[in-house]
Amino acid sequence: MADNIIEIKDLKVDFHTDDGVVHAVKGISFDIPRGKTVGLVGESGSGKSVTSLTAMKLVPNPPGEISGGQILFEGKDLVKASEAEMRKIRGNKISMIFQEPMTSLNPVFTVGDQIAETLMLHQDLSKDEAIEKAIELLDQVGIPNPSTRVKSYPHEMSGGQRQRVMIAMAIACEPDVLIADEPTTALDVTIQKQILDLLADLQKKYGMSVLFITHDLAVIADIADEVVVMYRGDIVEKGSVSDVFNKPQHPYTKGLLACRPSLDKNPERLPTVSDFMTVDGKEISYDISALLKEKTTRPIADDHDVLLEIKNVKKHFPLKKNFFGKVQNWVKAVDDVSFKVRRGRTLGLVGESGCGKTTLGRTILRLIEPTAGEIIYDGKDLVGMNRQEMREMRKKMQIIFQDPYASLNPRMTIGSAIMEPMIIHNIGANKADRLQKAGDLIEKCGLPREMLNRYPHEFSGGQRQRICIARALAVEPEFIICDESVSALDVSVQAQILNLLLDLQEEFGLTYIFISHDLAVVKFFADELAVMNSGQVVEMADALSIYQAPKEDYTKKLLSAIPKGIPKDLLVTQLQ
């Protein structure tokens, strides 16, 4: 029996588009050893997902086409396998977990039915036996009360639980290979840690081989045995985890390792991949000490000028009404929160999904009306302002949302999108002037001004977030709320956007509230930190002391969830 359960040899995948052939995967070779975990790392568009879909023969044809190479599964070439043969392999021998647990479960069937379906299909079990087995599986993936939850519908479960259900479905037939395509990217860091632990346990228990795909090197350090790094359809580096992490050869790997904010460092700016290499993959020499330059902590005096103060803000949503329409039960999304944001500084707001941080952010801008409390901006209480007064305030206060795909109108050129706030607030003398300003803004955010005539779908996630930033800056605001603004981005892009936001803060003296679930990012970015749990601020202090001396258990839990996989700090090692 061969050591390798899957051997990929010189695999090429092309996509035929209107603009010509795109070579998504350009002849890559790697093996997945039996019973081991291989991490496949790369940024969006590097071809890593296409590679995994090809292994299942799930790449739609047309436009996709496997133009060369072999995928040997237990010695059998899957590229030549018929659809009928593949159907027996999929879900049975090789199964897959997808990124988005919200959409990869069918909303109209109970989770039990969905797990049972795979079992009935591949293992010839009766419905009752399959449900029995489904309960067992749910128990294994750590769903509490599995015999009740088996009858739940996907919408009744949290994101983490849904991903657990997906895992239960994937391991139902005890597959030989499990392909996990960014299974934790859409989840909070705390949930991510639980899912990673679960996957590692199951892998050991069943002796499965796992292909773990991610954009975040730090995530796989804990669970992978081998790492394959992809860039633009090619493998740039592969090797054992300790080799790749300790002695990275390719500049891209070095960049990926360096760009993730870590808890124990305090750099002024994050290193990015472009500090290590050019876009076409040529190594450039870099100045380690410049990349490691420490951030000068900006002390915050007690009498520092306060730009925004919120006092006892509450936002309660009605949950249940009785027959007469009287509310009987409330969700206390934000429950009595008070804090101050100082001019020119950044307040980090950190907590898990559902802790109320996003609701709080939107309440501050009065996109949601607060139930009670005061929001005092520059001495004026926003609560109770009429629409006209509020419109004036919107010029000063801006927000950048999480999802750069959803926050731009798909039918508006980005030029119009950036000029729109200027029209609303009468900024700029005429159209030419506004166009000029929009061009300046987009250049400031790192995109050429020729792009103004394009539509949002022509840009990548990171570029769109730059556009959203340019748009927020169009009204010349002094205060910006960044609501999970980098959470949807690849680690390498995240570093660029964080650096851009810091540069802009320096240039325009902006004040930020930075909302995130990732403590490492917030700690790098913010001066002060507020930790939120169940609608309340549980701990608040400057960023460094929260990290060094967390007081609350909840904060400690958040801290321990950050992937600490990187064995040694690359740059520090090189410096020594």
Partner 1 sequence: MIEPNSDALPAASPNSLWTDAFRRLKKDKVGMISLIVIVIYVLVAILCGLDLIFQNYSVADDARSYLAPNAINWFGTDFLGRDVLARAAHGTYTSMLVGLLGPGLSVIIGVVLGALAGYFGGRTDALVVWFYTTVDTIPYILLISAFAFVLGPGLQTLCIVFGLTGWVGLCRLVRAEFLKHKEKEYVQSARALGAGHMRRIFRHILPNVLHIVLIQFSLAFVSVIKAEVILSYLGLGVEAGTPSWGVMISDAKLELSRGVWWGLLTATLFMFFLVLALNLFTSALRDALDPKLKGK
Which of 58, 81, 435, 538 is close enough to bind partner 1 by CB under 8 A?
A: 435
155 interacts with partner 1 by CB under 8 A: no
Quote the least distance from Cβ 26 to partner 1, whole Å. 24
Name the burial class of residue 108, with classes exposed (0-12), middle (13-18) and buried (19+) by CB atoms within 10 angstroms of its CB. Answer: exposed
18 interacts with partner 1 by CB under 8 A: yes
420 interacts with partner 1 by CB under 8 A: yes
Residue with smaller CB distance to partner 1, 173 or 412 = 412
Residue with smaller CB distance to partner 1, 144 or 410 = 410
391 interacts with partner 1 by CB under 8 A: yes
Measuring CA to CA, how many Å separate 248 from each of 154, 255, 273?
42, 10, 13
459 interacts with partner 1 by CB under 8 A: no
Residue 99, phi then psi, degrees to nearest 5: -70, -45
Residue with smaller CB distance to partner 1, 353 or 534 = 353
Instruction: List, in order, residues 6 or more apart from 379 with CB less than 8 Å away.
Output: none
| Helical ranges in 425-569 per DSSP H | 431-444, 461-473, 491-508, 519-525, 543-548, 553-561
21 interacts with partner 1 by CB under 8 A: no
- Evaluate whether 313 touches 374 at the Cβ level (below 8 Å): yes
Q: What's the rounded Cα separation, in Å, for the pair 246 and 566?
A: 8
Residue with smaller CB distance to partner 1, 127 or 431 = 431
Name the burial class of residue 100, with classes exposed (0-12), middle (13-18) and buried (19+) by CB atoms within 10 angstroms of its CB. Answer: middle
208 interacts with partner 1 by CB under 8 A: no
Helix (H, G, I), strand (E, B) or coil at 197: helix
Measuring CA to CA, how many Å separate 474 from each of 194, 407, 439, 446?
41, 16, 11, 15
- Evaluate whether 479 touches 510 at the Cβ level (below 8 Å): yes
Number of chain residues interacting with partner 1 (CB under 8 A): 49
Helix (H, G, I), strand (E, B) or coil at 566: coil
476 interacts with partner 1 by CB under 8 A: no
Q: What's the rounded Cα separation, in Å, for the pair 314 and 305?
A: 25
34 interacts with partner 1 by CB under 8 A: no
Residue with smaller CB distance to partner 1, 122 or 437 = 437
Measuring CA to CA, how many Å separate 129 from each of 105, 113, 118, 122, 327?
21, 12, 12, 13, 44
Which one of 55-63, 402-410, 527-535, 550-558 is the stretch in contact with partner 1 (CB under 8 A)? 402-410
Instruction: Tell me how far apart the terminal alpha carbons of the chain are, to the nearest angstrom.
Output: 45
Which of 320, 322, 411, 429 is close enough to bind partner 1 by CB under 8 A?
A: 411
Residue with smaller CB distance to partner 1, 396 or 557 = 396
128 interacts with partner 1 by CB under 8 A: no
394 interacts with partner 1 by CB under 8 A: yes
- Beta-strand pair 76-77/64-73: antiparallel
57 interacts with partner 1 by CB under 8 A: no
Quote the least distance from Cβ 330 to partner 1, whole Å. 20
Which one of 47-55, 150-158, 325-333, 449-457 is the stretch in contact with partner 1 (CB under 8 A)? 449-457
Which of 242, 312, 338, 409 is close enough to bind partner 1 by CB under 8 A?
A: 409
**Site residues (vs partner 1, CB under 8 A):** 18-19, 362, 365, 367, 387, 391, 394-395, 397-399, 401-403, 406-416, 419-421, 423-425, 431-432, 435, 438-439, 448-450, 452-453, 455, 457, 468, 471-472, 474-475
